[in-house]
Structure 1
Amino acid sequence: MSKSDWNSPEAVKRLAKRHAAERRFKAIGLGAIVLSLAFLALLLFIMLRNGLGGLDWTFLSGSDSTDASVAGVWGAAKGSLLTMLVTLLISFPMGVLAAIYLEEFAPRKRWIEWVEVSINNLAAVPSIIFGLLGLAVFINTLNMPRSSPLVGGLTLALMTMPVIVISGRNAIKAVPPSIREAAYGIGASKVQTTFHHVLPLALPGILTGTIIGMARALGETAPLLMIGMRAFIATPPDSLTAPSSVLPMQIFLWSDEIDKAFVQNTSAAIIVLLVFLLAMNGIAIYLRNKFEVRW
């Protein structure tokens, strides 16, 4: 197209339409961001207004009670901490190892393709299905203690693992082939190349998937309902097998109370849950940035 064609009325009209479409797209994107931030700011404002006055030492160090003035969140917070610990210890190593095998070592066979499709489908399964699975396997079959952080962590690990596997495979796949070729060129074996070169470079992406999976697990209530973690627990758990509740379940139970005094406790517990989530994500982001390699 010559210079005169660019200055023709038809070309000027087409360019004007493109520029107008770009401006509309930018305006829609900006509007979506502003709307999302507005809802988040409104939620935080309501929670802080209703619950900030209830954040005292009695609330932070106490456990559940039928009296709103002495009810506390420490029992549920400790239960969440123990449950997330079990979830992380089970889902992270197993998810990473599964991702490494599927991406680096698995033969290109039909059954491997079925496994990959199954993992992708598991990531989209409703969480309550994992609760039914945990109830059937861990409680009814293996006779593990009901309402315990151990069973809760194992159930949430089943739900979190597909997310870690998918993100781990994508992170491993993103490592340049030249890294593998250079390692093979100096005599490294397949295992040495994978664990000494590929895995460290893929670790930031794997940690990102772990953050997403753990954040989802921290806020879940449906799977824990099925394994009995909605019971009234008046004392904090002293082990992984002791009866316990978790923060989302405690919020749900307090929000269902008839006594209006529990409204402040519910909002305060939501604030504690948000702080818990931000702290967990902050640690994970720090570790991700620490291991990140700049190309």
Structure 2
Amino acid sequence: MTEPASAIAIATNMERKPTDWSASSKMRQRLASRNRTEKMFQFTGLAAVVLAVFFLAFLLWSMLADGVHGLSWQFLTGTDSSDPETVGIWGALKGSLLTMAVTLGLSFPIGVLTALYLEEFAPRNMWTDIVEVSINNLAAVPSIIFGLLGLAVFLNFMHLPRSAPVVGGLTLALMTMPVIVIAGRNAIKSVPPSIRDAARGIGASPVQVVFHHVLPLALPGIMTGTIIGMARALGETAPLLMIGMRAFIPTPPSSFTEPATVLPVQIFLWSDEISQGFVEKTSAAIIVLLAVLMTMNSIAIILRNRFEQKW
């Protein structure tokens, strides 16, 4: 019994010294390696940002230098023509607006309802997992595949009018819907569970919980994702070329079923012209397209900053 007691006393009386990390050569090497790695990462990130800004500035400068002289009221209100002096962008712009209206009218309600069902009501089983994986895969499918699908279904099978905004809108809705579903699910997940528990605690039904409490709080994130998806659809060319929206349209469309073209396709057609006058008009049309895209992205940022909830 004496030996353990003496050992405890010796251990208690031992002088305890703090660990001196700087005295270890291995620790100094590790700290130096960590600092080098952090500085290298910061430099790489800064270089990537500078490179991206450089390319964006070069693109904007080249487009403005070539196309700012082509911007005029006649160009903004005119229609397509074989003469570069009288050509205008209004017909393509109106076709883009009609096509985006069909895309938004279909993809937004279907995408939001799908996100609500998968996140709030769907049981967790194998079939739900298959649907989720399929939606994620559809969001990464090349746009030309949706153009082939629109050609096979909407034109060859349903016999809808060729080169019409309704066909373009249906095709782009197929491409935009998975993006809205993914953005909607992420926005719904961000709503705290306490909101749902509080609503159920006062007697709200599951449908009332979703539509009276969860959806209003998740709507800013859903709208932001929707606008970003619509901006992506506005700049698409390949799926619309597949359904025939590359024809020469001398008059703006007056309905969803009349032949029309869109801004990206119009830019593609003008860039293929051999006349030197179309070079300036092509750059001017690119400026108009960039202005519309930047406006849509700015609206998404404003909505996110204005209505986003911090939990």
Give the TM-score of the pair, scaled to structure 1.
0.96
Deviation at 1:8, TM superposition (A): 2.7
Aligned to 1:75: 91
Letter in 2 for 1:142: M
Provide the rounded CA distance (Å) in 2 between the counterparts of 1:238 and 1:163.
30
CA deviation vs aligned residue, 1:117-157 (integer Å, no higher than 9, x gap): 11111111111111111111111222211111111011000
Q: Secondary structure at the match of 1:239?
A: coil
Give the letter aligned to residue 81 of structure 2: S
- Matching residue's letter, 2:157: T
Alpha-carbon offset, residue 205 of structure 1: 1.9
Residue matched to 2:35: 19
Q: Tell me, yes or no, if structure 1 residue 195 matches structure 2 residue 200.
A: no
CA distance in 1, matches of 2:99, 2:281: 22
> 2:12 aligns to what?
none
Where in structure 1 do 4 or more consecutive aligned residues deviate above 4 Å? none
1:262 to 274, 278, 302: 278
Secondary structure at the aligned position of 1:70 is classed as coil
Unaligned runs of 5+ in 2: 1-16
Deviation at 1:238, TM superposition (A): 0.7
The answer on whether the counterparts of 1:65 and 1:234 sit within 8 Å (CA) in structure 2 is: yes
Counterpart for residue 107 of structure 1: 123
| Equivalent residue for 1:96, pick from 98, 101, 112 | 112
Letter in 2 for 1:122: L
State the distance in 1 between where 2:31 and 2:304 align.
Answer: 43
Match of 1:242 among 254, 258, 275: 258
How far residue 107 of structure 1 moved from its aligned partner, in angstroms, is 1.4
CA distance in structure 1 between the aligned counterparts of 2:243 and 2:18, rounded to whole angstroms: 72
Taking the aligned partners of 1:9 and 1:125, their CA distance within structure 2 comes to 53
- 1:49 alignment counterpart: 65
CA–CA distance in 2 between the matches of 1:289 and 1:238? 37
Q: Report the 3-state secondary structure (helix = DSSP H, G, I; strand = E; otherwise coil) of the residue aligned with 1:114.
A: helix
Opposite residue 197 of structure 1, the aligned amino acid is H
TM-score normalised according to structure 2 size: 0.91
- Alpha-carbon distance in structure 2 between the residues aligned to 1:5 and 1:290: 48
- Cα distance in 2 for partners of 1:116, 1:284 equals 25
Q: Which amino acid aligns with 2:69?
A: G
Give the Cα separation in 2 of the matches to 1:141 and 1:183: 47
How far the C-alpha of 1:253 sits from its partner, in A, is 0.3
Deviation (angstroms), 1:286: 3.2
2:308 partner letter:
E
Partner of 2:155: 139
Which residue of structure 2 aligns with residue 61 of structure 1?
Answer: 77
Aligned residues of 1:200 and 1:291 also touching (Cα < 8 A): no
CA distance in 1, matches of 2:32, 2:187: 40
Q: Deviations over 1:81-134 (max 9, x none)?
A: 111111111101110000000110011222222111111111111111111111
Find out whether 1:206 has 2:222 as its counterpart. Answer: yes
Paired letter, 1:72: G
- Identical-residue share of aligned pairs (%): 69
The amino acid that maps onto 1:281 is: N
Q: In 2, are the aligned partners of 1:204 and 1:289 still within 8 Å (CA)?
A: no
| Amino acid in the other structure paired with 1:292 | E
SS at match of 2:20: helix
Counterpart residue number, 2:299: 283
- Aligned partner letter, 1:158: L
Q: Name the amino acid aligned to 2:299.
A: I
Displacement of 1:12 after TM fit? 2.1
Higher Cα Rg, which structure: 2
- Distance in 2, matches of 1:113 and 1:168, equals 17
Q: Distance in 2 between matches of 1:192 and 1:183?
A: 8
Deviates more, 1:35-44 or 1:206-215: 206-215
- How many angstroms does 1:284 deviate by? 3.5
Contact 1:50 1:267 in 2 (8 A): yes
1:177 maps to 2:193:
yes
User: Which residue does 2:51 correspond to in 1?
Assistant: 35
Contact 1:76 1:247 in 2 (8 A): yes
Segments of 5+ residues of structure 1 without an aligned counterpart are none
> Given residue 139 of structure 2, which amino acid in structure 1 is its aligned partner?
A
Pick which of 233-242 and 8-17 moved more.
Answer: 8-17
